[in-house]
């Protein structure tokens, strides 16, 4: 049973940094439950707003329904109530409903609804898709505005009117006009979070639009830096944000942009570089090449953002 009501979950998530833990895979290709539990335990040891299991950085797109449920359950157990754990629901509507129901049964406090796989759809179809997931679970549901799932302000409002457990809007497009319409139309009925890769790059301008938080992939391997960055954003400290962007985030993006799909691979590369190896990515993604990994390790040293030894020992 969920600890938070949907409204309580929204209040908790909107004022804390959010992250999507990677999913470690063993030599046999399956989920490495021991390493995953250790990673979630480490990630939960900091003051984080919430963790989303089996999301994009967690390679949720490559997980079977059974693996999706396993990942959420392991995360809930390892977090041990220190921070809310949410699951993810993707694919066709029936698959997304199955993921949401399983996530709730596994103890998740909420669900991020990913775009339907591949299929193009319009507003009525998106409304029906999201409504089916909201109706299938009692936990909070957040829609992910990206790719083929671009929700109009009116569709978001209709979802909010129909479903009390629809609590959040995550954006990965950065369309200023659309975001302005969504926030202006729906106000504080929802909370709004940034989901562009890499979210730190867009965090300060989107905060001014009403997106009070964002999902940080780099929190996986440099949690202290990520939390400091978030505090600077929330304080509207433009000088501190710019310094951190210049020192680490922008050079990090230069490595990420060398190969398509490196947005996930570079996070696992970062974990390897700081001594918390979470294994390889699953195809069709590919691991960082040796030069890319060396460059990332050198950047961590040059930018002085490696986790403190005490943090690594947790």
pLDDT at 25 over 80: yes
Please give the positions annotated as active site: 144, 170
C-beta of residue 214 within 8 angstroms of C-beta of residue 203:
yes
Token output for 114: 């990913």
Asked if residue 230 lies in contact with residue 15, where contact means CB atoms within 8 angstroms, the answer is no
CA 115 to chain centre: 14
Phi (first) and psi of residue 99, to 5 degrees: -60, -45
pLDDT at 118 over 80: no
Find out whether 37 and 76 touch, Cβ atoms under 8 Å.
no
Q: Is 313 or 225 the better-scoring residue by pLDDT?
A: 225
Is the whole-model pTM more than 0.85? Answer: yes
Nearest Cα to 107, choosing from 87, 82, 88, 90?
87
142 φ/ψ angles, rounded to the nearest 5 degrees: -120, 130
Average pLDDT over residues 240-253: 98
Nearest to 19 by CA among 59, 65, 50, 62: 50
310 pLDDT more than 80? no
Please give the Cα distance from 16 to 155 (Å, whole number): 27
Mean pLDDT, the chain, rounded, equals 96
Cα angle: 223, vertex 270, 264; to 5 degrees: 100
**In the chain, which ranges are continuous DSSP H helix?**
6-13, 33-43, 65-79, 93-105, 123-136, 153-162, 176-186, 203-209, 223-234, 238-244, 250-256, 262-273, 290-302, 309-312
Residues 81, 78, 30: CA angle, nearest 5 degrees: 145
CA-to-CA distance for 5 and 117, rounded, in angstroms?
A: 29
**Do the beta carbons of residue 171 and residue 204 sit within 8 Å?**
no
State mean pLDDT over 281-292: 97
Q: Specify the length of the chain in residues.
A: 314
Q: What is the dihedral of CA 198, 200, 205, 208, to 10 degrees?
A: 120
Query: What number is the average pLDDT over the span 195-223?
Result: 97
- Rounded average pLDDT over 104-127: 94
Instruction: Over range 297-313, report the average pLDDT.
Output: 90
* pLDDT for the residue 311: 76
Q: Confidence class of residue 31 from pLDDT cuts 50, 70 and 90? A: very high
Q: In what order do the strands lie in the sheet with 166-171?
A: 18-19, 50-52, 85-89, 110-113, 140-145, 166-171, 191-194, 213-214
Model confidence at 309, pLDDT cuts 50, 70, 90, reads confident
Q: Is 80 exceeded by the pLDDT of residue 112?
A: yes
Give backbone dihedrals phi and psi of 138, rounded to 5 degrees, phi first.
Answer: -100, -5
Neighbouring CB atoms inside 10 A of 133's CB total 23
Select from 11, 163, 5, 20 the least CA-distant residue to 86: 20
């Amino acid at each position: 049973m969920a600890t938070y009501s949907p409204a309580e979950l929204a209040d908790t998530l909107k004022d804390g940094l959010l992250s999507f833990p990677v999913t470690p895979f063993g030599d046999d290709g399956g989920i490495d439950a021991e390493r995953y539990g250790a990673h979630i335990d480490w990630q939960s040891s900091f003051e984080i707003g919430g963790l989303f299991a089996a999301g994009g950085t967690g390679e949720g797109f490559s997980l079977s329904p059974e693996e999706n449920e396993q990942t959420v359950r392991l995360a809930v157990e390892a977090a041990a109530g220190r921070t809310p754990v949410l699951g993810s629901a993707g694919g066709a509507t029936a698959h997304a409903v199955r993921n949401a129901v399983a996530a709730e049964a596994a103890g998740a406090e909420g669900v991020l609804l990913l775009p339907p796989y591949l299929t193009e759809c319009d507003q009525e179809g998106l409304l029906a898709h999201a409504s089916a997931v909201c109706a299938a679970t009692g936990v909070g549901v957040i829609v992910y505005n990206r790719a083929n799932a671009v929700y109009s302000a009116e569709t978001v409002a209709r979802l909010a009117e129909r479903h009390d457990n629809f609590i959040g809007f995550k954006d990965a497009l950065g369309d200023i006009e659309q975001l302005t319409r969504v926030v202006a139309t729906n106000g504080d009925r929802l909370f709004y979070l940034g989901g562009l890769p890499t979210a730190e790059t867009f965090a300060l301008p989107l905060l001014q639009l009403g997106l009070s938080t964002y999902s940080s992939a780099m929190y996986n391997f440099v949690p202290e830096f990520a939390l400091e960055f978030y505090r600077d954003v929330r304080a509207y400290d433009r000088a501190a944000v710019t310094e951190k962007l210049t020192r680490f985030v922008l050079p990090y993006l230069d490595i990420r942009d060398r190969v398509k799909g490196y947005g996930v691979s570079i996070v696992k590369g970062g974990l390897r570089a700081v001594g918390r190896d979470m294994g390889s990515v699953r195809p069709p993604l590919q691991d960082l090449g040796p030069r890319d990994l060396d460059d990332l390790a050198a950047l961590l040293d040059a930018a002085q953002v490696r986790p403190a030894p005490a943090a690594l020992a947790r």
